Structure 1
Amino acid sequence: MTATGPQFITSAGNALLKDLRRLAQDSTAYRKQGRVWLEGDHLCRAALARRVVPALAVFSQSLWEEAGHQWPDLGTRTVVMADALFASLSGLESPGRMGFVLDLPGTVQLQPEAPSLILDRLQDAGNVGAILRCAAAFGFPQVLAMKGTAALWSPKVLRAGMGAHFGLHLVEGLETAALDALRVPIVATSSHAGEWLHQAVLPWPCAWALGHEGQGLGDDIASRAGVAVRIVQPGGEESLNVAAAAAICLHASAAARAG
């Protein structure tokens, strides 16, 4: 991938290997290092498709020997390491055999008029990643993660997002007062109160607010909402998984806009 060829790492004590292990296994290490770890062919190709150029490309030796020539020459620093070393840094049960290191985006400002998704203290990385996929699919380009929400650029959220990150404007660590800058109405979600989603007149553009998996949406955000909705559940379950609810709500917005 580079004119000078790859750097080979053979020692378990290598400093770069230790830094990569922290990035891959610690959900908040990216904030300290200012870098993001992507692992696996799919995520790396998703980044390239969005014209994201990695600062570093890392390959297991077996993959480099099999398919290193198939990757485009990005002028990027390339590292190759023994399969066992790559497995030692990976946070996956089945290591992805290659990964990219990206520079973390700089300070990201809230866009007041963008269709948005507000995440209020969501804890589960899988839920957060799935919701980012929904935001990208249904035309909500901005995601606002309130303080206490799972780290958006953590390895687990990145894997669950399946590349959605690279098409979204992500702002995290926000205090509630930051939402006062929004110039689009907030739509609150609830398991027990508000209009039925299928009967509600949904504003566009808007900002959907989704709350903590157990506690729901906080009162400080709910009080800022102009509309509150709930999803009809004839099966009688107490509540839906928050990622499933997000898919239903954002699809309803997209369908109303299209219709």
Structure 2
Amino acid sequence: MNLITSRDNPQVKAWRRLAQDTTAYRKAGQFWLEGDHLCRAAIDRGVKPLQIVLSASCFEAQGPQWAGLTDALFVLPDPLFASLSGLESPARMGFVVAWSAQGQLLSDASTVVLDRLQDAGNVGAILRCASAFGYRQVLAVKGTAALWSPKVLRAGMGAHFGLHLIESVSEEDVAALQVPVLTTSSHQGPFLHELLQRQELTPKCAWVFGHEGQGVSDSLMALAHQKVRIAQPGGEESLNVATAAAICLHASATAAI
């Protein structure tokens, strides 16, 4: 166990960057997981932390159960640990985990494509849906919120560890997919429930979900094998993109059941 008490310690500064900078993981080759739930979700998926950082109160209560996972276990006074966090109510523990850009695109995998989504909460929620409904791969078009940022990790609630994630993909990458591409639209194509009734949906596909304000780009829309609308009997103009994704992914994933 290594005790650190100074805010100016270089290791503390490095953790703070990982915890508060949305893209620091790309340069550092490491990302920050904060909180008991996320850390346990990582362990359950076979993730090995490089470092474990505990507040003093957490170490007192739970130290023995974490001590065996790595030799690099650090303990900080509670106020110092809280200074690392980007949360309004900081957790009491965190992991530092190795990160590397996942390489090769899986052309025949059931896929979710995120087209320039800006909101980290939306991105994380869609990752949760993708994992829950059996989609193996998520591609983030350049301009999408950083997939391994602390906010997206928190919103994903552990879904990251069961997905093949690739950032900064191009339209050419999407065009290379060997599964049908479906795009959501507010005014083009048949309604989702009509496709279900006609048994024209399949889990083996790629769903594209677009920017919160602009929707799917014209160039990606042009790749669509099918454009799909969601019926809104209540008369709202549009749905939140994460809500739309949950509806579409569930419908497609369960179409053959």
Q: TM-score, normalised by structure 2?
A: 0.96
Aligned counterpart, 1:101: 96
Residue type at the aligned position of 1:184 = V
Structure 2 unaligned runs (5+)?
none
Structure 1 unaligned runs (5+)?
1-5
Find the aligned partners of 1:155 and 1:138 in 2 and give their Cα distance. Answer: 23
Length, aligned pairs only = 253
Q: Deviations over 1:134-182 (max 9, x none)?
A: 0000010100000000000000000000000000000011111111221
Q: Deviations over 1:78-134 (max 9, x none)?
A: 111111110111111111110000000344211000000000000000000000000
SS at match of 1:210: strand
Question: Which portions of structure 1, spanning 4 or more consecutive aligned residues, are displaced by more than 4 angstroms?
Answer: none
Aligned counterpart, 2:127: 132
SS at match of 1:256: coil
Find the aligned partners of 2:9 and 2:254 in 1 and give their Cα distance. Answer: 52
**1:142 paired residue among 137, 142, 154:** 137
Q: Deviations over 1:205-250 (max 9, x none)?
A: 1000000000000011110010010000000000000000000000
Q: Deviations over 1:33-86 (max 9, x none)?
A: 110100000000000000000001000011101211133612341111111110
**2:25 paired residue among 30, 33, 40:** 30
Find the aligned partners of 2:72 and 2:38 in 1 and give their Cα distance. Answer: 18
Aligned counterpart, 2:223: 224
Find the aligned partners of 1:115 and 1:81 in 2 and give their Cα distance. Answer: 43
SS at match of 1:44: helix
**C-alpha contact (below 8 Å) 1:40/1:96 kept by paired residues:** yes
Residue type at the aligned position of 1:246 = A
**C-alpha contact (below 8 Å) 1:210/1:242 kept by paired residues:** yes
Find the aligned partners of 1:216 and 1:106 in 2 and give their Cα distance. Answer: 26
Find the aligned partners of 1:107 and 1:164 in 2 and give their Cα distance. Answer: 16
**C-alpha contact (below 8 Å) 2:25/2:99 kept by paired residues:** yes
What is the percentage of aligned positions where both structures have the same residue?
Answer: 62
Distance 1:26 1:170, change over 3 A: same
